Every structure is written in C-alpha cells, then in structure tokens.
Structure 1
Amino acid sequence: MTGKEARLPDSMIPEDARAVKSLDNLLDIETPGLSGQEVQVPATIASNSISYTIPVIMKVKCLNHDDKHTCEKEASFAVDLKDYPKFTEVSDFVRERILINLFKNSENTGFNHKCSLVVKDPQTTTIKRIRARPVVKNLLSKDGKFYDSMGREWKSIDIFVLQNGLATQPGKHIELTGLVLPDPRSSRITMMARHVNEAQEASADIEEMNRLAKLFENWTVEQRMDWIIKNVATYAKVVKRENVIHGALLCFFSPLYLNFNGEKIKGWMKIVIIGDSTAGKSKTVRTVINELFGLGQIISGEMASMAGLAAANMQASSGQWMIEYGPFVLMDAKLLAVDGAHKVSASDWAAIGEAERDGILRVTKAGKAEANARTRLILIYNPVTEDRRFTRAMDTFRRGAQAIETVMDATSIARTDLAIFVNASDVTPEDIHIVHKGTTDPELQCLTSLCRHVWTGKYETIFEDKALEKILSEATRIQKKYYLTRIPLASPDIDKKLARLSASLAALTCSFSSDWSTLTVKQEHVDYVVNLLESEYENAGLGSLAMDDRQEVTPDEAATLIQNMQTALGQKALDDKVIHEMINWISGKEKFTREDMMHKFRLSDKEQLRPLVHQMKEDGLLKQGNRGFTATLKLTKLSKVIGDKNNAS
C-alpha cells in the first residue's frame, strides 16, 4: 500500500485529556500504571534511526454491493497516535488488514461486520525508531549489570518519534513528550513521542565567570593554578594527588578545536592516569565529574567492555540496520572517564583508535554509519601482569613509565596527550589518616560555568607569537630528551600536544578577553605545562629509559643483560650460546609470538618462556603489541655486540 506524504494536522494528533506527567528518568516509563498516559522525560539518543512510512488519513470503501446490504459505503478515517507503532516492520498486506480492523473496531463508523472494506488514497507521515538511554553522570557495575548512582539499571529503550525536523544525532540530549505504550513487536514498554525537543543544557553564568576573572586579575598563572589545585584537593579530600587533579582539569578545559601554526587541529585531549589501586585516582576524577562540575560521565572498565565502548550492530526484521552507540560516542564534545580502563578489551580500543585521531567513529560492518566522537577522555588504569589477569604494583617496575606498556600499545600511547603516574608509596599512612578541616573558597563553584563556556566553543583561540615559538622550541627539546619507540609519549606531534595542553591551561586560568570571545595562549601557559610534563616524565623515569635506548650497549652491559636473563631462569638456565642465538633470532624478526619463541627454542611455558620474556621487557629489550612482540633498538644493539664478540673469538 502506497500513498502520498501528508503533513499531519495538529488536529489529527489527539492530545491526551490528562495532564502530561513529568518523569526524571527514561526508565520510569516502565512504572506500572503509566501505559496509555502522556509523559515528558529526558533521554539521550543512543543510536541512528530507522524510518517508517505510516498511514494516517485515508478513505475506507465498502465493496459489498448486495442489495440487502446497507452501510455508509465510503468514509474518511484517521489513525490514532497510539496505533502508529503497529505499522512498523509489517508488509503492505498486513498493514491494510490492521487498518481495516482498526476501522471496524472504531465506534460510529457507519459500517458493520458484513462490510467488505478496502483502503483508498492513504495519506502518510514518517516516524522514526531510535534507541535511547537515561541521562546519567555516573555508572557502576554489579552482577554483570550497570546502575546509576540512584541504583537504577542503565539500559536502552526503543522509542518511536514523529518526524519533526530534529536531527537524531547520537549523544544528543532530548526531551520526549508522548504516550507510554507496549511495543507491538516485543510487548516491551516503549513511547510514541509526538514532540522531540533538544534539551536545554545549562548555560554558563557570565556573572560567575566575571567573579572568577576578577579574583585572578592580578595573579600569575602559577598563582591561579595553586589556588585551583589547593581548593579542588580540599573539596575532593585527597592528599598528594596534585598531578591527578592537574590531568583531570586540563582534560575538562580542553577546547574542541584549535588554530595552531596555520593549521586547524583537534583540541580535545586524552589523559592517561595509571598507578596503584586505592591511590586516589578514581576518587579524584569521580569527585570532579559528579560533584564539582556535574559535567561529563564516568563509567567502569567492566561496563565499557560488556556494553561496548564504541558501537554495536542490530538488525530489524525489515532488514534495516540500527547502530547502538556506546559511551564513547554518546559523550561527543563532552568528557568520558573510564575507571579501570585496563579491563576494556583490545578490540574495543582498536575500534576507537581512528576516532581518537579525527573525531569520527566509522562503523564499517553490516550497518555502515558514521558518528561524531570528539570525546575528551580520561583513562584510569592499573598496570597489569603479562597475562593481564592481575594488577601489578608500581614499585615492581624499574621505572614507573614502564607501567604504561602493560596496558597500551605504542600507537595508543602516542595518541596520549599527557600521562600521569601514581605510586601508592608516595603517600604515607600519616598523610592519609588526617582530619579534613579545610574549606573551599566560594568562587571554586564558578569553575563549572567557565567549563561550560569552554565546551560551547563560542570563542576564538589565539596563540601569541612568543607562545608559538616556545611551543616549537620546547617540542624539539622534549622529543629529543624523552622519545622512546616503545613508550612514545613524546611522539613527533608533541608540538600539537603542547598546544592543546597550553590552550587548556589558558582556558582554566581565565585567559579570555573581557567579553569572553577570545582565548589567548601566552608563553607563561606554555612554560607551566612544560614544567608539569617534564616533572611527571622525569619522576616516572622516562628520560632515563630514553637515554638507555639511545646509548650504545657496551660489552660489560651486554654481559649484565645476559646474566639478568639467566638469573630470571634460575634452575632452568640456558647455555649462553642459546641465549645469543635467541637474541640474534629476535633482532631479525619483524614480529613474533610467544608460541614462535617457545617452539623455536624448546622452552617450557611457565619455567622458562614467561620469566625470560618478563626480564627482557623489564630490561627494555622487547616491546609488546596486540599481536606479539618486536625487538627494541636496545636489543638490536645487544645483538650487534654479541656478533662482534663472536667474530672476534
């Protein structure tokens, strides 16, 4: 059955006689007794949409021409809003049967059971089916399910909406007004929404921003940051975690885009916080998201792995594909923190790898689609053992920076703007068990309005000439000092990382014009972030690791490295000639797996292969990726020393 598209008159969209009931959470539509009621509720669009053409106004004609049969013969009929979902996922034949049954069951139609009815001249409208989720800030896992801070399960619901010109963009916060109904296909509770409006996000309070600017007026960048960090630490009740606060705040205040050195670049950042359990990492970030700002979302690593961080395909019975997006897309242009990011699967991280770079998530399987994913990321990790089954203490690493290798491959590390390393031994029991007496300044709450303004993007970012020159000169120096192929935090695009960090710091410290239309990045902002980055990377030993990698391996160092391997093997030590052969074999391989190494040299798994690989990684001879191991430059140099020694003998 086909028909012409009709703009449905408001008179044909019957308003419920009862008052519209306001709900706080989308899942509240499942409350018993709400079916058939008109409600208004906030939601987040979690998928693309599937469109359906729905008959709404038509003529119905009786074809029973028996002389004894009397009826109206022909009449007009309008489908009730509550019946629209019945016409989705059905054939034209079934659709016409549904229409006729609806008409026969309607009162005062002038037809009867002896009528033989057909539908003529249907006028249609379009409705969309989307998948929506509740709007939440904080998600926790329990027994394989996920709940918000109020204990309500976080799940998606199919919603039908009238086509009204509003783009159904994943991640968009909307307000739905319509009828609560059972889904005719699944009998689950759904909604037929007559109105879909874009939710009004809380806007920045200019008066609060001006108060903060007035407070900072005669302060240096360092003085402003001291005030901010001290107040946030007091608010979160954490001690000696200033580096975590720095990382979280810089991520929050990163602009979406920047014009840097004649090029438009991404401004949103990825910050990695890695360290020991119960060391204040998660508490600090949760406090900033849930209590201080009330912006962004924090999820658990288990949730991201089970529900899908990026997207999942679903096929409707009509054959059309619906893509349900995960938190990474739903937080587009906002901020997402993943607590326990080491629990997210490698395939999930691979799925968002390109999106981290250009801000677009591309689904290329089955249902092809694209969605914006310009998501500020805070990834909270614990280092893990080689088999990823257990977490590992920071003190077990020769250098703290090596911890990041256990959870991220080199490509993911290179896409990190700043890594923060947290060691539980930095804080003593005396530091922890104290009475928190401090109070925060009232102006601290003004940071929320400032952050909202940064997220709007309604300003121009300018780098002063001295700031640009400083970024480029420092980028050259930092890359030379800290670049390490297996831990490429100081990757060749370090200039853009410094630009993002400096612009974020400028926003955080109110470096705006008086009308808030221009953000100016100055040399003092660059100086501050360079000192922060160098302090963090020096403390983590990244500079020492990079220096070791650049230096030539001497015969004495070669002997020490080989002795380290033999010591790790203990009673299962190998002949030195076998060790030499193994090193030469590895240096000649582009990539190899555990199985390759075990079978090549007839090693036992637990007693030889595992301790040997662990020691070689500790000494910087191997780097691990998603699909095996590769030799480091240091191993290649070691192989050369062994070769020279063998040739000399």
Structure 2
Amino acid sequence: MAKKKDKTSEYQYVDAWYSNQNGRSIPWKRIPSSEVKQFQTGEAFNFNCFATVQRFANDTKVKGEAFIAPLYFDLDHAEDPSVSQKDAIKLVEFFTKEMDIRESDMWIYFSGSKGFHILISSDALGIEPRNDLHKIFKHMAGYLVHRLGLTSLDLVVYTEKRMIRLPNSMHQKTNLFKTEISVNELNKLTLEEIKDLAKSPRHADDLPYTAEERKKAMKYRPRTGYLLINKTEEYEQAAATSARKYAKEEFQFKKDKPPACVVDILNGGWKKDGDRNQATVQLACYFKEAGYTREETMKELEDWVLKFTSEDNEYGKQQRVANTRSVIDAVYSGDNTYKFGCAFIRSLHGEKKPGSKDYERVACAGDMCHCIKKNAEEEENAKLLHLAETGNADLTGKLVKTRVMVAGKKHTPYIIPKNIEYHCWGRESCKKVHCPLYDIHTHTGYKDLGVSDREVIQMTGVGDDNIKGILREISGIPNCPKYNTDILENMNVEELLVIPMAEEDDEKQEQHKGNYVLRKVYAVNGLNVSENKYYELTGYVYPHPKNQESTLLVKSAVPLQDVVESFELNEQVKEDLATFQPADYTAESIEQKLGAICNDLTYNVTHIVERDETLLAVLLTLHSVLRFKVPWDLNPLRGWVELKIVGDTGTGKSALIEKVMKYAGLGTRVNAESTSRTGLTYKMEQSGAQGAWYIVWGAWPLADKEMIWIDEDTGITKDDYGEMTLARSDGKLEVKRAVTAETPCRVRAIMSGNVPKGKRLADYSQGAESLKDIFNNEDIRRFDFAVFMRASDVDPELYNQTLATYPSIIQKDTLKNNILYAWSRKPEDVLFTDGTIDKVLEVATDLAKVYGNANDIPLVSPSDQRNKVARLAVALAALTHSVDESGERIQVWPGHVEFIGEYLKVLYNAPGCGLNYYARLAIKEEEMTEERYQKFTADLKKIDTLTGEMKFYEFIKLFAQQKYLRLGDVEAMLSIDKEEAKAIVNQLAKMRMILLTSGGYRKTPRFNAYIAYCMKKGLFDHIQDEYY
C-alpha cells in the first residue's frame, strides 16, 4: 500500500450528526470537511456532535463508495477507564519505538468519558482510498490486541461509516470535552488530571502541535507502512476464502474425523514460504465448521505455528502467535464469511520445479472423502413448483422446491441409521472381486444415508429385522456371510403434514383452485420446523415405499414469513425514521407531530376524515413491542397491544384498518364471519384411518410476533373467545387433547365489528355497554383500550367533499420500517427515562379513579391499568421513534405517558362510549347509605308477604345464598303462593335490584350492597334459626 500519488485531495466530504440537549437526534448529513468546525459550533453548539473518521469523494451517499481515513483506534473500558490509558500508552510506544511513527504523525484524544482515541496519519502510512479500509484496519487492530495484550481496544468501531466524537465537543453524559493531549501528558498525567483538562475546550495554543508543524514534519514512514502492507496482504488472502466464492461447496465436518488435506497440513506444516497465513485461515475455517470453540482452535493452531515456524527468536515467535490469534479472531467473527474450500486448500502445494510435473501435493481423498456433501449447485437449479405438481411421475428422484404451510407434525420423531460400517473378515480366501470391500486395504467401507436416499423413508415405522435387510440391500455386497454391519451413527426423521402456501400470483392461484392438497413429507436431520408456519421446502420426490403415494424427502426448510428477523437497521433506515420524531418529547410536541402523521395518512392513504382517534389507535397497536421491563414485575411485561373497535355500520372502520395495513405491508386479516374458533386457534386432524393425530394451528398463533386483524368479530361467540383468554394474556396457546402441545402466540390484535344484533351505539345508554354483548368480562379486560365510532360523529357533508391536498411525508417503506423497528426490539431495548415510571403510576391511578368502578366493562381495571398505560406509552414512543443516541433502543419520556392518559380520556369520555358516566353510575349502584337502606327496606316491606320479620329474614337469606333464582324457586323456597312470588319479583325489578337472564333472576350490585348492609347492621343476629 505504498503511496504512489496524492489521491486524497478529492476526498473532502464527511458525514456529520449530533443530538441536542433534549435528546433529539438530528439526521446524518454529508458536508465538506472544511465546514465541520462551523457545523460543530454554529449548528450543534459544540454538544454531542460527531463526524465520520472517513472522508468521501462524493457529496451524497453512494453504496460501496471508496474513502480515505487515518488508522484509528478506540480504547474504552467501562469498569476501569485507567485500563484504557495503559493500553493507549502501549499502542503509542509500539508505533513510536518498535515502528517509525513520529509523535507529530499521531493525534491522541481523551474521549470525554471512559477512553481514548488514537489516530495515525494516512500520509505517514501511505494509505490509499478503497471501500474496505475499515476491514484492513480491523485486521491490524486484531493483530495488535494479541501482540500487545490490549483489553480495551474496541473492534466494533471498524465499519464503513464510523462516527467519531469531534474534538473539543461536550459529552452528553459527563459534560466533559473530548480533549487532545500530548504523548507526554498521556504518560505522565493521571486519569483524574486528564479529566480536569477536559472540563473546558482546549485552546489551540495548548495543543501538542500546530497544523503547520504537523504538515511540515509529515512524511511516509516505511517501516510502519510495510507493516500495514503486510496486514493488507493477510486480509486479502483471508478474504479470498469468502463464502461467496465457495458457496456451492458443502461439507460435513466432525471433530474427530478431519479430511486428509487438513491432516496433511497439521502434521507437515505449510508447504512453501508465503502460504502460512492462507493455511492458517483454512485450518481455522475447518476447526470452526467442525464445532471447535475459539479457545480450542487457538490452542491447536498456536502449537502448530510454533512447531513449524522458521523463527528462532522469542520476538519473532511472539509475532507469529499474534498473527495466528488475529486470523482466528477474524474467522470466528460474525462480520466475516471466510469458508473452507477444497480447491483453495489444495492450491497450497509445494513449489513447482521448472520443467517438472513433480511437486509436493496436499493430500486429498477425492470422491471417497467422508467430509464432502453433494454440490449445492443442484439445489440452485431445483425448480419451484406448487405442492400439487410435485406428484408428477417424471420428477421421481429429482430435487424440487415447493412453498407450503406446515399444518402439523408427528410429535415423536423416528430414529434410523445414518452412518453404517461394513467390515469384511474373510478377505484372505475371498474371490468375489466385484465386492465393494474387495479392493479396500482395510477391508472396511462406510455408507452414509441422507436426503437423496429413498431408503430413509423405507426405514420409518418398521422393526429391526426390516432395517437389517434394508442395510444389506443398499451395501452392494453380494450374498456373503463373512462381513459385519455396524451402525455408527443415527439420525432423526420427522413426519410432517403440509398444505400449499397461497399463491401471490392470481393466475397461478386460479390454476390450482379447488385442488386441496394435504401431503405427508419427511424432514431429515432434525430441521428446525415449526407448525403453522410457512416454508420453502427443498427435497427429493419419491413414491412412498409402503403405498407408492408421492412424497418428499426434505433437505432444507427456509422460513418465508419472519419479517421481523429480516429487518435490518442500517444508517439509511435510521435517517428515514427520524421523520416520525417531534421537536421534543413533551406532550404538546408529541400531539403536534401525531397530528401531522394522521393528516398525512388521512389525506394520502385512508381518505377517511375526522377519525384521527381511530387511526392513532391502529398505529399504536402496530407499533407495540413484544415485551419490556418494568420495576414492579420481575419478568418482562407483555408489550403487544390489543385494540377493540366497535362502531355503527358505515363508519369506515374496516376500510381505515385495511388501508393502513396494506400501506404498511404488514398484518393478517381474518373475517370472523367465515372463520370458526378452530380457524382462529387450532383443530385436530388425523392422517389416515389409523394414522397419527396432528394439531393444525389457526390464524391467531400463525401471526406470532406480528399482527392480526379480526374483522366482523361478532361472528364468533363469547364462549369461543373465552377459549383464547389464556393465550391472549400469556402469549402461548396450549392444547391438551389427543395430542398435548403448545405454541407461542404473542400477537398484536385489532378486533373490529359493528354493534351486535343489528343495534347502533345510540341504542345503549352508554356505548361502552355494547362490549358486554360481545365478550365476557375477563375478555374485555384483556383489551388495552377500545374505540367507539358513532355514525353521527362525523358531519355527513364531509363524506361528499373533495379532500384537500396534503404533502406526503410518511412513505410506505418508512412506515413499515418504523413498525418493524418496534417489532424487533428486545426487552432490554426499552428504556424509561427519569420520572417516566412515576408518571405511569400517576396516570394509571388517575384513570382508575375515573373509570375503575365499571366492573362489568373492565377496560380500566385498577389492578393492571399501570401495565396498560406503560404498554401504550412504549408503543407511542416507538411510533414517534424516540430512541437513544445509538438508535438501537426506545426511550419512553413522561410526555408519552401524559399524552396516553389524555388520549384515553378522549376515547372513554366520547359520546359514543360514555365509560365515565357508566363508571359513575356503577359507584352509585354499589353505594349504600343509612338513608338509602331505610328507603329500600320501607319499599320492600310494602309487600304484605315481607312485613313479618321472620319472612323478611328468609327472603334476604334466600337471595344472599343464591346466584340465580327463577319465579318458581322464590315460590317454593319461601313457601308462598305464585301471586306473592310475583309481587316480590316485580317489586325487586322495579327497584333495579334484579335482572332477568337466561339462567333466571340475577342480583344487581345494588341488591348485593343492600344485603351486605343488612348483615353489617346485624339486623338478624337475634333471630333464632332452628336449622342452623
């Protein structure tokens, strides 16, 4: 990498970023490097500001663009920052004493927190622009970690666009400044003395060197430049084994059975000078793929390199060990895709002599190598077919792909032979030259069974004698008693029941319409397959050995539906998601930003006006996380939100939800009117008359970690919803029938529908009462919130007006990524800022006081309202993309909680809901004062039958002990005639003390309160009951 000519003048742009003192992150922007100082002081106000250590030639971001950068190091130690200082001293001494770097070639900074930054001039090292400099730097840093014993050097910072804090800018947590220091200050000052220097920006006169002095002293340092050239070559040699180049080679490595080539190089060393690094990479790749830990590989290869190195002094040996360790670190790093390659390791042969074909080759077992799998190119050429088409006889023995849903699987896997040893013990007198064991010098052969062998299916569900016969048949050994068959290894085979995945192509869907296919297939080697999930299966088509039905031997199953895991949070996505951020996170700013978001989606997506509360409810549900931590619960709390939308017909609820889901490209719709409980949860199916039972999971668990919308939810009965209660709260669905199983169902849910029984919300005293006709109390309580939409909420004239234009800010991909960002967060990725938890408890208490007494419509339950408030506040924080400076974690501010409290009041105080009035009435129904008691007693005793004290006691006792009573029960149990019983029931009904239900007359809270007051007064304590 020696410097040929000055190319750096073109590289004058950097990416810059900062976050202000309110915690708001400003999107990355590209600026000329000459404007960084102005950006730092004029725009970022010298607070928490960063720029890339790389400089670019383009004034806008270009994928894969080249860049120039100094060699940089970030030393950071959270527990003991003094370790960072010691490591920084080691680095400086290495480059200035062992290498030829001058102090003027280096910039040393205290980071302002817990570490140090060291930068070495690109001119001194002869660095030229390229797009993978960060990988070369990482390889160099990895070497130095082991060469110098560094414990605080951070290898994570070597990315193609790495932000580094700007000198003399304030750290947002410590309020210290990033400060340049000299080598002498690094060596002599204590960490506390360095921190004292960092309490204010450092004046130019106090810096170790001026820019002019550095420029004048700058020159290429050949010794350090050669080190970088050497590390660059090592990096490029390792990169040559990238998985992309050897993706079509597959191996089955085992710890105790290395291939012949690996044994050869381990026992004989590298075969020519210059191949040590490539040999180390290949051996490390083998050890990694064979299941060795990093530490085990370190031990093996350190001993190996010391055994064969030509270095005879301790310094040289230390270098070789450090090189070896850095290569192993690179191979085991998740950033790299280095891979073992047959052709590559065979290329590490000895020197070829001119005019001679003789040279020292790397040992190779060829086709007999036990580590080689079939070439993966066959899988690439496999044709993608509908499941119904895989029954074509022409496909027998061929590899195909098909997209299916795993409708169920047999819960006990088969165990069959995988690796078989055949050993001949009668070779001396044998004349069967066509026997496969005849020419093998050890007289021992091996057979590996795999996904391309039909016999795998044949060995399922049969006894030992059948398996012995099958193993004899596949051996190819003629009829001979003089050999042994031993099973060395077994494997699992799972029996799956699959159905076709719905085609996205309408034409293909129509082509296979009406062809219901339920097929049994076999998955080999324990594929990670879950029921009721979609997969692309790759496997061989065979007729089943027992009944000749078409089946598949499956070699791979690729998930098709997990959009959460496929989400990637890159810098461009981070920049796009800043669109959702308000000016700050006060409730007022949040409300203002949400208004802009709702306007955008209303005028450009849904076209349904005056329904911002409903639109926001849908967005909150979509943006809810899976789980998060709170102080009052040891386990992470459920984060997924469940929303109920009930409204009059024609209010646009279904159209609004459908358009938002379609725009975001996420969520599953289920129409409850055409779906039974089994379609939502599970059903049992039997494979054949005497076959195994399978569980076929329904739409609810199918949407695990995602979102489901159940439209027209009144199509499912109260009792059917009751079977889902535990699944909704615990996030898992359990089945204990012919088969016992459970599956996760952590599902964000929206349930929407018209008011039941053809009614309107106006037909109820309070619209919230409509929920009682749809769900049981415990199922209402599972909802985090509800929205009620009356037809009269919107002026009819607004439906027929031309909509105004509104600038489109929220693009569909941006909305989708913001939702997937929320879905992909883990519990530890949700942070509550100072005062937020106290605000949650305050808001929950306030809501419980207003709505908590509506016991039979428990949307607000005092015992768990804090959980609901926290859940919705986290969802709101995700919606407004409130994140920390890393962009990886959600931050919930008191403003989010405050907004949620006011928003819920708007929903529940709305005329279509009236939960506030309902709760207030519920308090009065249960309140019993002396005055009310006297009035109720007087009214009851107006009935002739109840004037006597004993009969009144029997009346109270009867209703106190019974939950439901019919008219005949009152007549019989009080020993009165029918007319007297009618008089009692009529009076109780008139006083709203009983309600007529399908089970009989049920006491109201008012009657229960009256009975309790009677007991409290000891009204009947003096009455002698002879049967007590």
Q: TM-score, normalised by structure 2?
A: 0.49
Instruction: Please state how far the C-alpha of 1:273 moved relative to its aligned partner.
Output: 1.4
The CA deviation at 1:361 is 2.1
| CA distance in 1: counterparts of 2:790 and 2:954, whole angstroms | 35
The 2-side partners of 1:127 and 1:307 are apart by 29
Q: Which amino acid aligns with 2:646?
A: I
* Whole-Å separation in 2 of the counterparts to 1:278 and 1:586: 48
2:784 is equivalent to residue 417 of structure 1: yes
SS of aligned partner of 1:475: helix
Distance 1:54 1:508, change over 3 A: same
* Contact 2:993 2:1003 (8 Å CA) reproduced: no
Q: Specify whether residues 213 and 481 from structure 1 end up closer, same or farther in structure 2 by C-alpha distance, changes over 3 A only.
A: same
Asked if 1:451 is matched to 2:451, the reply is: no
**Alignment correspondent of 2:556:** 195
The equivalent residue for 1:404 is 771
Q: Counterpart in 2 of 1:566?
A: none
Find the aligned partners of 2:514 and 2:823 in 1 and give their Cα distance. Answer: 28
Give secondary structure in 1 for the equivalent of 2:400. strand
1:125 aligns with 2:125: no
Higher relative contact order (CA 8 A, sep 6+): 1
Equivalent residue of 1:255, what SS? coil
1:346-361 paired onto structure 2 within 5 Å: 346-361=718-733
Partner of 1:269: 641
Do the aligned residues in 2 keep the contact of 1:582 with 1:601 (CA within 8 Å)? no
State the SS of the aligned residue for 2:765: coil
CA distance in 2, matches of 1:151, 1:490: 47
Q: Find the aligned partners of 2:516 and 2:646 in 1 and give their Cα distance.
A: 27
CA-atom RMSD, angstroms?
4.9
Larger CA deviation: 434-443 vs 451-460? 434-443
Q: Match for residue 232 of structure 1?
A: 601
Which of 648, 653, 656 is the aligned partner of 1:281?
Answer: 653
| Contact map agreement 2:495 2:523 (CA 8 A) in 1 | yes
User: Structure 2 vs 1, CA of residues 260 and 230 (structure 1 numbering), >3 Å: closer, same or farther?
Assistant: same
Aligned partner of residue 260 in structure 1, secondary structure: coil
The 5 Å alignment of 1:34-49 reads 37-47=398-408, 49=411
Matches within 5 A, 1:484-503: 484-491=854-861, 492-503=863-874
Given that 2:579 and 2:810 are in contact with CA atoms closer than 8 Å, whether structure 1 keeps it comes out as: no
CA shift digits 1:190-239 (9 cap, x unpaired): 43211224457441454234223156352621122112222222302323
* TM-aligned CA deviation for residue 179 of structure 1: 2.5
Alpha-carbon displacement from aligned partner over 1:411-446 (angstroms, at most 9, x marks no partner): 111111111112233345433344556466153321
In 2: Cα distance, 1:91 partner to 1:485 partner: 62
Stretch of structure 1 that moved more, 173-182 or 393-402: 173-182
Equivalence for 2:627: 257
How far off its partner does 1:57 sit?
5.9
Question: 1:536 & 1:91 partners in 2: Cα distance?
Answer: 66
What letter corresponds to residue 567 of structure 2 in structure 1?
S
Q: How far 1:408 moved relative to its partner?
A: 0.8
Aligned mate of 2:887, from 507, 513, 516: 516
Counterpart of 1:504 in structure 2 is 875
Tell me the CA shift for residue 401 of structure 1. 0.2
Q: 1:357-506 to 2 correspondence within 5 Å?
A: 357-384=729-756, 390-427=757-794, 429-435=796-802, 438=805, 441-445=808-812, 446-458=814-826, 460-483=829-852, 484-491=854-861, 492-506=863-877
* Cα distance between partner residues in 1 of 2:993 and 2:617: 27
Question: Residue 588 of structure 1 aligns to a residue in which SS?
Answer: helix
The code of the aligned residue for 1:260 comes to V
Once residues 361 and 232 of structure 1 are traced to their aligned partners in structure 2, the CA distance between those partners, rounded to angstroms, is: 35
Is residue 544 of structure 1 aligned with residue 914 of structure 2? no
> How far off is 1:167 after superposition?
3.1
Letter in 2 for 1:545: Y
Gaps of 5+ in 1: 1-5, 62-69, 139-146, 385-389, 562-574, 603-608
Aligned equivalents of 1:361 and 1:128: distance in 2?
Answer: 22
Judge conservation of contact 1:461–1:518 (CA < 8 Å) in 2: yes
How far residue 470 of structure 1 moved from its aligned partner, in angstroms, is: 1.9
The residue aligned with 2:671 is 300
Identity of aligned residues (%): 23
Between the aligned partners of 1:465 and 1:434, the Cα distance in structure 2 is: 47
Question: 1:330-380 deviations in whole A, cap 9, x for unaligned?
Answer: 222211221222223445433332222222222233322232222112122
- How many correspondences in the alignment? 581
Q: Identify if the C-alpha distance between structure 1 residues 548 and 272 changes in structure 2 by more than 3 Å, giving closer, same or farther.
A: same
2:585 matched to 1:212?
no
Kindly tell me: are residues 31 and 494 of structure 1, through their superposed partners in 2, closer, same or farther at Cα, counting changes over 3 Å?
A: farther
What is residue 613 of structure 2 aligned with on the other side?
243
CA distance in 1, matches of 2:836, 2:808: 31
| Greater Cα shift, 86-95 or 488-497 | 86-95
Q: Could you give the per-residue CA deviations for residues 69-98 of structure 1, whole angstroms, max 9, x where no partner exists?
A: x99789887765345334334444565677
State the 1:267 CA deviation. 1.0
CA contact (8 A) 1:50 1:322 kept: no
SS, match of residue 177 in structure 1: strand
**Greater share of strand:** 1
Q: Is 182-191 or 327-336 further displaced after alignment?
A: 182-191
Other-structure match for 1:340 = 712
1:634 aligns with 2:1006: yes
Distance 1:340 1:260, change over 3 A: same
Give, in angstroms, the shift of residue 524 of structure 1: 1.4
Which entry has the higher C-alpha Rg, 1 or 2? 2
5+ long unaligned stretches in structure 2: 1-256, 258-289, 291-368, 424-431, 438-444, 937-943, 947-951, 972-981, 1020-1028
Residue identity opposite 2:695 in structure 1: I
Q: 1:50, 1:130 within 8 Å by CA — same for their partners in 2?
A: no
| CA deviation profile, 1:214-265 (whole Å, cap 9, x unmatched) | 5635262112211222222230232333232222211111111111234331
Alpha-carbon distance between aligned partners in 2 of 1:186 and 1:433, rounded to the nearest angstrom: 65
| 2:897 corresponds to 1:526 | yes
Corresponding residue number in structure 2 for 1:387: none
- Distance of 2:547 and 2:747 partners within structure 1: 34
Question: How far apart, in 1, do the equivalents of 2:970 and 2:637 lie?
Answer: 48
Residue pair 2:531, 2:697 contacting (<8 A) in 1 also: yes
**Greater alpha carbon shift after TM alignment, 272-281 vs 328-337:** 272-281
Deviation at 1:471, TM superposition (A): 1.6
User: Structure 2 vs 1, CA of residues 15 and 478 (structure 1 numbering), >3 Å: closer, same or farther?
Assistant: closer
* C-alpha distance in structure 2 between counterparts of 1:240 and 1:456, whole Å: 32
Distance 2:832 2:1010 in 1: 45
Q: Structure 1 residues 197 and 404, CA, compared in 2 at 3 Å: closer, same or farther?
A: same
Report which stretch shifted further, 179-188 or 395-404: 179-188
Q: Is the 8 A contact 2:624 2:871 kept in 1?
A: yes
State the secondary structure of the residue aligned to 1:53: strand
Distance 1:498 1:623 in 2: 36
